[in-house]
Amino acid sequence: MKHLKKRHYLLISLALILFIALFFLSTFIKNYINNNSKELLGRKVVLNELSINYLRVAVRASDLMVYEANDVDTFAGFREFYVNFDPLKILRNSYSFSAVTLDSLFVNVIQDDDGFNFDDIIPAQDSSHVEEADTTATDPFRFAVHNINFKHGFINYFDKTVDNELKLEDISLQLPLIAWDSESSDVGVDFRFGRYGKVYINSHVDQLDQTYHVDFKVDSLDLSDISSYVENTIDAGGIKGFVSTDLKINGSLKNTMDVTISGNNSLQGFHLWDLENKDVFSVQNVSYTIKSFDLAKQNFNISDVSIDNPVITASLYKDMSNIERMLQPVMISDSTQQDSLSHEVPKDTTSVNFSIDKFDIKNGEIIFTDNTLYRPFVYDFKEINVSMTDIKDDAVHIPLKFAINMNDQGKLSGESVINMVEPYNLNMKAEIDRLRLMSFSPYSEYYIARPITQGDITYDLSIDMSPTLMTNNNDIVIKELEIGSKTQEEPQVKAPVKLGLYLMKDPKDVISIDMPVEGNPSDPNFSVSKLIWKAFSNLLVKVAASPFNALGNLVGTRPEELENIPMPYAQDSLLSDQQELLDKIAHILTKKPQLIFSFEQQTDPDEEKSVLAVKMAKTQMLTEKLPLITADEIAEFHVELAKLEDTDEDFIKYLRKNVENSAEMDVTTASLALIGDDRLDDAFRKLLINRNEFIHYYLTEEKGVDPASIEVNTADLRNLPDELKSCNYKLEVSIK
* DSSP per position, 376-402: -EEEEEEEEEEEEEEEETT-S-EEEEE
DSSP H or E stretch at residue 580: helix 576-591
413-450: b (≥16 Cβ within 10 Å) or e: ebebebbeeeeebbebebebeebbbebbbbbbbbebbb
Strand partners, 290: 263, 302
pLDDT level of residue 126 (50, 70, 90 thresholds)? very low
Which of the two residues, 646 and 376, has the higher pLDDT score? 376
Which of the two residues, 371 and 145, has the higher pLDDT score? 371
Chain segment 270-293, per-residue pLDDT in tens: 999 999 899 999 999 999 999 999
Mean of all residue pLDDT scores within the chain: 83
pLDDT for the residue numbered 610: 93
Gap between the Cα atoms of 703 and 579, Å rounded: 10
Range name among 228-237, 402-411, 438-447, 550-559 with the lowest pLDDT average: 550-559
pLDDT level of residue 127 (50, 70, 90 thresholds)? very low
Question: Does the pLDDT value for residue 13 go beyond 70?
Answer: no
Question: Does the pLDDT value for residue 140 go beyond 70?
Answer: no
Number of neighbouring beta carbons within 10 Å of residue 604: 17
Give the dihedral sign, CA 488/491/497/499.
positive
Smallest CA-to-CA distance from 389 within 414, 427, 359 is with: 359
Gap between the Cα atoms of 111 and 90, Å rounded: 43
Q: Which residues contact 433 (CB under 8 A, 6 or more apart)?
A: 410, 411, 412, 413, 458
Gap between the Cα atoms of 381 and 403, Å rounded: 10
Count how many Cα atoms sit within 13 Å of the Cα of residue 525 in the half-sphere of its side chain.
2
Gap between the Cα atoms of 63 and 83, Å rounded: 15
Strand partners, 221: 243
Smallest CA-to-CA distance from 263 within 253, 279, 249 is with: 249
Range name among 19-33, 227-241, 593-607, 642-656 with the lowest pLDDT average: 19-33
pLDDT for the residue numbered 340: 53
Arithmetic mean of pLDDT, 7-21: 60
Residue 204: phi and psi, rounded to 5, are: -135, 125
pLDDT level of residue 156 (50, 70, 90 thresholds)? confident
Range name among 27-41, 196-210, 399-413, 653-667 with the lowest pLDDT average: 27-41
Chain segment 24-63, per-residue pLDDT in tens: 666 777 777 878 877 777 788 888 888 777 666 778 888 8
Question: Does the pLDDT value for residue 601 go beyond 90?
Answer: yes
Judging by beta carbons within 10 Å of its beta carbon (0-12, 13-18, 19+), is residue 229 exposed, middle or buried?
Answer: middle
Percent pLDDT > 90 in the chain is: 32
Contact present, 316 and 372 (Cβ < 8 Å): yes
Residue type, 311: V
Question: Does the pLDDT value for residue 4 go beyond 80?
Answer: no
pLDDT for the residue numbered 376: 95
Which of the two residues, 349 and 537, has the higher pLDDT score? 537
pLDDT level of residue 579 (50, 70, 90 thresholds)? very high
E strands in 254-396: 259-274, 279-294, 299-308, 311-316, 353-370, 377-392
Smallest CA-to-CA distance from 67 within 48, 41, 45, 100 is with: 45
Arithmetic mean of pLDDT, 553-564: 81
Question: What is the largest distance, in Å, between two alpha-carbon atoms of the chain?
Answer: 195
Arithmetic mean of pLDDT, 287-300: 90
Contact present, 650 and 667 (Cβ < 8 Å): no
DSSP H or E stretch at residue 116: strand 115-116
Reading phi first (left if > 0) and then psi (alpha if -120 to 50, else beta), residue 428 is in beta
Strand partners, 205: 185, 212
pLDDT for the residue numbered 16: 62
Rounded to a whole number of angstroms, the distance between the first and last alpha carbons of the chain is: 143
E strands in 131-235: 143-159, 164-179, 184-193, 197-206, 211-222
Contact present, 382 and 408 (Cβ < 8 Å): yes
pLDDT level of residue 699 (50, 70, 90 thresholds)? very high
Within 244-399, where are the H helices?
A: 322-326, 328-340
Alpha carbon of 546 to those of 541, 552, 581, 715: distances in Å?
8, 11, 18, 21
pLDDT level of residue 329 (50, 70, 90 thresholds)? confident
Residue 196: phi and psi, rounded to 5, are: -125, -20
Range name among 382-391, 454-463, 466-475, 530-539 with the lowest pLDDT average: 530-539
Smallest CA-to-CA distance from 411 within 377, 443, 381 is with: 381
DSSP string, 591-606: H-TTEEEEEEEE--HH
pLDDT for the residue numbered 252: 87
Contact present, 692 and 713 (Cβ < 8 Å): yes
Which of the two residues, 265 and 118, has the higher pLDDT score? 265
Judging by beta carbons within 10 Å of its beta carbon (0-12, 13-18, 19+), is residue 499 exposed, middle or buried?
Answer: buried
Decide: helix, strand or coil at residue 579. Answer: helix
Contact present, 392 and 355 (Cβ < 8 Å): yes
Range name among 16-25, 519-528, 567-576, 685-694 with the lowest pLDDT average: 16-25
Question: Does the pLDDT value for residue 267 go beyond 90?
Answer: yes
Chain segment 341-387, per-residue pLDDT in tens: 445 555 555 678 889 999 999 999 999 999 999 999 999 999 999 99
pLDDT level of residue 1 (50, 70, 90 thresholds)? very low
Percent pLDDT > 70 in the chain is: 84
Contact present, 231 and 162 (Cβ < 8 Å): yes
Gap between the Cα atoms of 671 and 190, Å rounded: 119
Q: At what angle do helices 631-643 and 605-625 cross, to 10 degrees?
A: 130
Strand partners, 45: 66
Strand partners, 250: 213, 260
pLDDT for the residue numbered 5: 57
Alpha carbon of 290 to those of 248, 306, 353: distances in Å?
10, 12, 14
Question: At CA 209, angle to CA 208 and CA 212, rounded to 5?
Answer: 110
DSSP code for 321: B
Alpha carbon of 601 to those of 544, 551, 685: distances in Å?
22, 21, 12
Q: Which residues contact 203 (CB under 8 A, 6 or more apart)?
A: 186, 187, 188, 212, 213, 214, 215
Arithmetic mean of pLDDT, 591-601: 91
Question: Does the pLDDT value for residue 213 go beyond 80?
Answer: yes
pLDDT for the residue numbered 263: 94
Chain segment 62-82, per-residue pLDDT in tens: 888 888 888 888 888 888 888
DSSP code for 89: G
Contact present, 672 and 651 (Cβ < 8 Å): no
Question: Does the pLDDT value for residue 104 go beyond 90?
Answer: no
Contact present, 600 and 713 (Cβ < 8 Å): yes
Residue type, 30: K
Gap between the Cα atoms of 353 and 345, Å rounded: 22
Smallest CA-to-CA distance from 430 within 464, 454, 398, 396 is with: 464
Range name among 223-232, 333-342, 623-632 with the lowest pLDDT average: 333-342
Tell me which long-range contacts 404-407 makes (C-beta under 8 A, separation of at least 24).
Answer: 405/381, 406/379, 406/381, 406/382, 406/432, 406/435, 407/379, 407/380, 407/381, 407/382, 407/439
Which of the two residues, 334 and 591, has the higher pLDDT score? 591
2-6, 181-185, 226-230, 314-318: range with highest mean pLDDT: 314-318
